[in-house]
Chain A
């Protein structure tokens, strides 16, 4: 990611205030006419110092800290820490707890993908789809709330197991909820694969071949849309995924449309696994005893978050506080891939491409500048907001009757 300081380039910084993305970040695009010639990203706006903060909190307090790395994928961070500490202590959570963890993780995946669908549609100017998908997403939020008590930041994990149990009544309401969601997901799949306006913005845009995906280090649905079969739930099953396996959803086209299709098909897979868990929930305890002081040890935990591979490295030192907690989130890898990919594409495609990797700024933390080479020796720097870029994209395609 180079911040280029070439002469005769226009720079359009897009400030850290994004009504659509809800997260601050700073990108720099150098454009030549309509085509992007280089791109870079500046992160740091959401950098809070969590890894350092974790060293002065106990392991249990860290569960609450780490859940707030990202509000959208908060449960997977909590699960990673809980699994990590259990590994450090040499304890395994009971089977019922592991199954409930998978249940909550898959419900979270559904909520995250639907959230993304709405935001991505909004980026493309397709506000109707945004409203529909967020309305339907409320079903999943209700289910999570009846299970855990909160819509976001559920705190379902404790070190050693889970806090909340699934009663038969709750299981029935979850089944009803996901039946409804399955029907709606079929509708969304139809929309993204057949709506001409939508396809005009997504087909053959931001295409990443399989080789590029491997070289650029893309992970998660972004990589799976390019034919890379990389899904940690399949390659390295952890926790309850050993008993309730999932299959990876892979598409070959590698363009933006494929990324939409992968995520919607993953909804079906999540719904299937949830049904299976509800039908075969193992009996037993909800937690296992874990000592307060964790003996000195190291552990590596890799999980499949909705956005890709989440990597945790934990080191304990015999006290009840961590020695080191290292978090590497999936969006960081995907940022690198999209910034490379942006070169050669039209500026109008930038909002859709950036949102196509399902960026989670707070998982990383990151802004826009657009540089335009001037005529003769004039440099032009334009300050654009994200809204400007988004409206520019919508307008560009509207003029071409898409």
Chain B
């Protein structure tokens, strides 16, 4: 299957669950969808072609203009030159998303990383041990959120807002 057919197939399989699509490059597809449809979307991508999950990226969207803070999760699926990214957002107040480990067992490493660095709860993920952060890392401190500013005198510095 060539690249454009692959992309079209992925797009058509994803359209029932997706809010909107973007094609930043000829071989890249961004699909913005609500977190409830995440698992179906993952199944759709995996059935569109021989895609593999490259990684899960977390993006912190700090609170601004009265909007509460959110974390955007990007699931990058690759097949040759084609990259399909599923994008979903969760709120700071209840940062929960379903784990994709039931469909992709090896996703556990990426999920552990996103959980400890951003504070997202991925329900159903098999392992919740720390992957990268040290054992004595303080609870509730998520280093890759914009509000985390480092340590001072051994205590984490967290600023309000961004």
> Interface of A with B (CB < 8 Å)?
1-3, 42-44, 47, 49, 51-52, 214-217, 235-236, 298, 300, 302, 309, 311, 313, 315, 324, 326, 328, 332-333, 335-337, 365
Asked whether A49 lies within 8 Å of B143 as measured between CB atoms, the reply is yes
- Type the 1/0 row for B118-162, where 1 means its CB is closer than 8 Å to any CB of A: 000000001101111110000000011000100000000000000
- Residues of A within 8 Å of B59, CB to CB, are 315, 324
CA distance A44 to B80 in the complex (A): 31
Asked whether B74 lies within 8 Å of A52 as measured between CB atoms, the reply is no
Residue of B nearest to A53 (CB): B150
- Which of A1, A217, A311, A333 is B76 in contact with, Cβ under 8 Å? A311
Residue of B nearest to A235 (CB): B80
Residue of A nearest to B143 (CB): A52
- Type the 1/0 row for B27-56, where 1 means its CB is closer than 8 Å to any CB of A: 010000000000000000000000011110
CB distance from B57 to the nearest CB of A (A): 4
- Residues of B within 8 Å of A315, CB to CB, are 59
CA distance A277 to B79 in the complex (A): 28
- Residues of B within 8 Å of A47, CB to CB, are 132-134
- Which of B52, B83, B108, B110 is A300 in contact with, Cβ under 8 Å? B83
Asked whether A216 lies within 8 Å of B106 as measured between CB atoms, the reply is yes
Residue of A nearest to B112 (CB): A1
- Residues of B within 8 Å of A214, CB to CB, are 52
- Which of A43, A51, A337 is B144 in contact with, Cβ under 8 Å? A51
- Residues of A within 8 Å of B78, CB to CB, are 302
B20 CB–A CB distance under 8 Å: no
Q: Is the interface of B mostly helix, strand, loop or mixed?
A: mixed
Number of A-B contacts (CB under 8 A): 70
Asked whether B74 lies within 8 Å of A313 as measured between CB atoms, the reply is yes
CA distance A180 to B119 in the complex (A): 53
CA distance A120 to B105 in the complex (A): 29
Residue of B nearest to A45 (CB): B134
> Interface of B with A (CB < 8 Å)?
24, 28, 52-55, 57-60, 74, 76, 78, 80-81, 83, 85, 105-106, 108-110, 117, 126-127, 129-134, 143-144, 148
Asked whether A44 lies within 8 Å of B106 as measured between CB atoms, the reply is no
- Residues of A within 8 Å of B83, CB to CB, are 300, 302
Asked whether A300 lies within 8 Å of B76 as measured between CB atoms, the reply is yes
CB distance from A15 to the nearest CB of B (A): 15
CA distance A110 to B71 in the complex (A): 41
3 tightest A-B contacts by CB? A328-B55, A236-B81, A47-B132
Give the residue among A236, A300, A313 with the most B Cβ atoms within 10 A.
Answer: A300
CB distance from B109 to the nearest CB of A (A): 6
Asked whether A328 lies within 8 Å of B143 as measured between CB atoms, the reply is no
CA distance A52 to B106 in the complex (A): 25
* Chain A to chain B contacts (Cβ below 8 Å), 15 pairs: A2-B126, A2-B127, A3-B127, A42-B131, A43-B132, A44-B130, A47-B132, A217-B53, A217-B106, A236-B81, A298-B24, A313-B55, A313-B76, A328-B55, A333-B106
Given A43-B131, A313-B76, A1–B55 Cβ distance below 8 Å?
no
- Residues of A within 8 Å of B55, CB to CB, are 311, 313, 326, 328
Asked whether B131 lies within 8 Å of A44 as measured between CB atoms, the reply is yes
Asked whether B109 lies within 8 Å of A332 as measured between CB atoms, the reply is yes
Residue of A nearest to B55 (CB): A328
- Residues of A within 8 Å of B85, CB to CB, are 300
Asked whether A217 lies within 8 Å of B52 as measured between CB atoms, the reply is yes
Residue of A nearest to B82 (CB): A236
- Residues of B within 8 Å of A328, CB to CB, are 54-55, 110
Residue of A nearest to B126 (CB): A2
Asked whether A1 lies within 8 Å of B127 as measured between CB atoms, the reply is yes
- Residues of B within 8 Å of A216, CB to CB, are 106
CA distance A311 to B127 in the complex (A): 24
CA distance A214 to B105 in the complex (A): 12
Give the residue among B60, B78, B126, B133 with the most A Cβ atoms within 10 A.
Answer: B78
CB distance from B116 to the nearest CB of A (A): 10
Residue of B nearest to A2 (CB): B127
- Residues of A within 8 Å of B57, CB to CB, are 313, 324, 326
CB distance from B142 to the nearest CB of A (A): 10
Give the residue among A214, A326, A337 with the most B Cβ atoms within 10 A.
Answer: A326
Residue of A nearest to B30 (CB): A298
- Residues of B within 8 Å of A51, CB to CB, are 117, 144
CA distance A52 to B144 in the complex (A): 6
CA distance A269 to B24 in the complex (A): 33
- Residues of A within 8 Å of B106, CB to CB, are 215-217, 333, 336-337
CA distance A51 to B143 in the complex (A): 10
CB distance from B52 to the nearest CB of A (A): 6
Residue of A nearest to B110 (CB): A328
CA distance A42 to B135 in the complex (A): 10
CA distance A217 to B78 in the complex (A): 12
Q: A1-B109, A43-B132, A324-B59 are in contact. List 9 more A-B contacts (CB 8 A).
A: A3-B127, A3-B129, A44-B131, A47-B132, A49-B143, A217-B53, A324-B60, A326-B57, A328-B55
